[in-house]
Every structure is written in structure tokens, then in C-alpha cells.
Amino acid sequence: AQCFEITLELSCCKYPHEEKLPFFWNKNKASLIEYIKQVHLGVKGQVFDQNGNPLPNVIVEVQDRKHICPYRTNKFGEYYLLLLPGSYVINVTVPGHNPYLTKVVIPEKSQNFSALKKDILLPFRRQLDSIPVSNPSCPKIPLYSDLPSHSAATKPGLFFFLVTVFHMFV
């Protein structure tokens, strides 16, 4: 579901003493809150048929972007796409029907820290009894598992450089 996980390390010490925690919080609070606000960039909504019924398992994606794992609506027809500010064409695909395209403009600043709300009403002439659930759109084996790791931990020179730079400014 387009989940992005991150790890934030605010100190070179993995387990700082309890009395140091307020210092790290105060030093990084504003930056962390601004970062958290970024999760609300994008567009969200529901996909409905002509009769107002939510449509599950519908592919919702940005046109002309290749996705390893295209986003599918949940059982309530809900979707969410994390997008930077700009103009996009959203491609909504229901199995057995022609794709439906709609344009969205993501503003520079989100209102009330919420993604742009865009419900999509598909122009079907009849109610869909059910939308077949196809095979998962995500591969079971990661596509890039055979590539060498790009982690700084596997490159000692880069790791020591980053540690040195960090200690110069702390």
C-alpha cells in the first residue's frame, strides 16, 4: 500500500542515556515535525461506480509511471498516492473496463496537513456485482534482490568519512 519505512538516528549512540533524550528531542523537534508533515502530500479518496458503490481492487496510479507494485483500492474503494506538488494524470483501471483518466493538481502547501481529496466516480452504466480479484500486483521475490547492496555499512571508506564529518560538526 505504498508504505515507506524510515529509520531516524539522532545520535551516534544507539542507546543514549535517559537524561540526554530531552536534549536530542529539543535539538530535532522542529525538523521532525516538518518531516512528518510530508506524509500528507499527495491525493486520497474513494473510487465509486455510477450508483455510488465503492469499488475494491481497482488499480489507481499516475499515468506513464512504471510501478513495481501498482496501488489497488481496499474493500471500501479507498486509495492514497504519495505525490509531490505538481500536475498529474491519474489512471484508474477496473478489470474488464477501459481505463479512466482524471487530472489532479497537488498544491505546494497541503491544507490542514491533509492530502488532496479526490473521489472518483466511474461512468459505468450498470452496477458491478463484483470485481474479480486478480493475482497480487506485487512480486513475491524482490525485483532487485540480485543487485549489490548500496548501504554505507558495506563501504568502509564512505562509512568512516561520514562518521568523521559527523564528529566535526557535533
Catalytic residues: 9
3-state class of 166 per DSSP?
helix
d(CA 102, CA 90): 5
Phi and psi angles of residue 60, each rounded to the nearest 5 degrees, phi first: -125, 115
Mention every residue, 6+ apart, whose C-beta is less than 8 A from residue 160.
Answer: none
d(CA 118, CA 78): 10
Mention every residue, 6+ apart, whose C-beta is less than 8 A from residue 88.
Answer: 43, 62, 63, 103, 104, 105, 106
Going by the DSSP 8-state scheme, the letter that residue 54 receives in this structure is B
